[in-house]
Amino acid sequence: MTLINRLFSAFSRSSAKQEPVSPIVAVMPVSAPLDTPLLNQSEPEFPLNSYSTTAPLPAWLADEESLRDEGVLFGLSDARPDGKVAQIRAYFGQQAAPLEEQVEHYTDKIGELNLLIEQRENRITGLRDQSSDLRDAQTAQHNLIRHSASLILSLVLCVGNFYLIDETLRPTFPNRWIAVGVFMAGMFNLFGRTSFFYETDSRLTGRRLIEEFGLPLATSLFILVQALQTQSLSQAVGLFVFVFFLFLLAGKLLLSTLTALQTDLLAIQHNHQLAINKKQNIPAWEGEIERLNREIDAIRTKKWPIVTALNHTQAEQTRLNTQRDGLVNLFISEFELARSLRDRLTTQQREAMFNEL
């Protein structure tokens, strides 16, 4: 017979001398067994031996009846239940310590594997973006044929201008190198970086006018003077105007054509490199994506057993916490029940009950 039963037996023997207390029956279900598998009588009540502890199991915590008796004894005495509750929690804390270490270890390992998966997924995303951008890349447009023809025509124009000057200067200056020098002087703006003829937003200054018009104008006037000696005035003036504008425009036209031709050659090189990249990089990236997917699958295969072990460990941790809370509640309920009945017992009844233990 447990202490709580003896306590109620003492009240039943003294019921003729005391007023009936009906609320006592109402609190009886508190001492009923906990409706939980942890305390099922068909199994060991406290399956704690599966985990090693640093301290042996206290005798009052060995089974449910002992814990009930301990709660009743503390309820009948003047002691507080905090110490016993702390012992229960400390004991289960020792039981849960290895589980907490395992949970921390599994969590760290899963975090490392998730980081590896994330790194590979980010790499796959980057490769897919690069592959998509390369597939969508368009070839650059160029006008190689047109600009090549323009370059040939510009060269023919410059060569024709040279022979025109050479024929004009030959009666006075039979040495052809003089004609070459005059031609190069007239084509001085060929070496200039810019020309206001091809720039709409350029600021026109006197210095720039001299730079653009100086040598072409002086060269054309020199040719005009030489042409007047052998040709009529109208022919000489016509030659002056024609040569002057050739000097102004032919050089810049030649440079512009060369620049456009260079741009076309770069575009052709870009298109060729683009075709090579599509042929080589896209299959290589797709192969790397497949390899990364296989690595992710391997990492996930390695991760799932750890996740399963973590879930089992956390479930065991939850079971221990539930068992701890159940035992604490059981002890507190028995303590409070005995404390509520303590003042209704006589001193002799209390001493007799303590002496029976």
pLDDT of residue 353: 63
Contact assessment for residue 63 and residue 303, using Cβ atoms and an 8 Å cutoff: no
Euclidean distance between CA atoms 304 and 171, whole angstroms: 100
Structure tokens given for 44:
């060991």
In SS3 terms, the chain reads as: CCHHHHHHHHHHHCCCCCCCCCHHHHCHHHHCCCCCHHHCCCCCCCCCCCCCCCCCCCHHHCCHHHHHHHHHHHHHCCCCCHHHHHHHHHHHHHHHHHHHHHHHHHHHHHHHHHHHHHHHHHHHHHHHHHHHHHHHCCCCCCCHHHHHHHHHHHHHHHHHHHHHHHHHHCCCCCCHHHHHHHHHHHCHHHHCCCCCCCCCCCCCCHHHHHHHHHHHHHHHHHHHHHHHCCCCHHHHHHHHHHHHHHHHHHHHHHHHHHHHHHHHHHHHHHHHHHHHHHHHHHHHHHHHHHHHHHHHHHHHHHHHHHHHHHHHHHHHHHHHHHHHHHHHHHHHHHHHHHHHHHCCCCHHHHHHHHHCC
pLDDT of residue 32: 33
Instruction: Identify residue 41 by its one-letter amino acid code.
Output: Q
pLDDT of residue 340: 79
pLDDT of residue 60: 75
Tokens 């032919």, residue located: 250
Smallest Cα–Cα separation from 315: which of 44, 39, 106?
106
pTM of the model: 0.55
pLDDT of residue 103: 93
Instruction: Identify residue 132 by its one-letter amino acid code.
Output: S
CA 42 to chain CA centroid, nearest Å:
53
pLDDT of residue 115: 95
Euclidean distance between CA atoms 168 and 224, whole angstroms: 9
pLDDT of residue 305: 93
Contact assessment for residue 131 and residue 285, using Cβ atoms and an 8 Å cutoff: yes
- b/e code 10-35 from CB counts within 10 Å (16+ = b): bbeeeeeeeeeeeebeeeeeebeeee
Smallest Cα–Cα separation from 189: which of 257, 242, 244?
244
pLDDT of residue 116: 94
pLDDT in tens, the chain (357 residues): 455 555 555 444 444 344 333 333 333 333 333 333 333 333 333 333 344 444 566 777 777 787 887 777 777 777 788 888 888 888 888 888 999 999 999 999 999 999 999 999 999 999 999 988 888 888 888 888 888 888 888 888 888 888 888 888 888 888 888 888 888 777 766 555 555 555 556 666 666 666 667 778 888 888 888 888 888 888 888 888 888 888 877 767 777 788 888 888 899 888 888 889 888 998 999 999 999 999 999 999 999 999 999 999 999 999 989 988 888 888 888 888 877 777 676 666 666 666 655
Contact assessment for residue 75 and residue 338, using Cβ atoms and an 8 Å cutoff: yes
Please give the angle made by the CA atoms of 298, 300 and 306, to the nearest 5 degrees.
Answer: 120
pLDDT of residue 9: 54
pLDDT of residue 122: 95
Q: Where are the domains of the chain?
A: 3-110+332-355, 144-297
Tokens 């042929």, residue located: 279
Euclidean distance between CA atoms 309 and 303, whole angstroms: 10
pLDDT of residue 47: 35
Euclidean distance between CA atoms 350 and 343, whole angstroms: 10
pLDDT of residue 14: 46
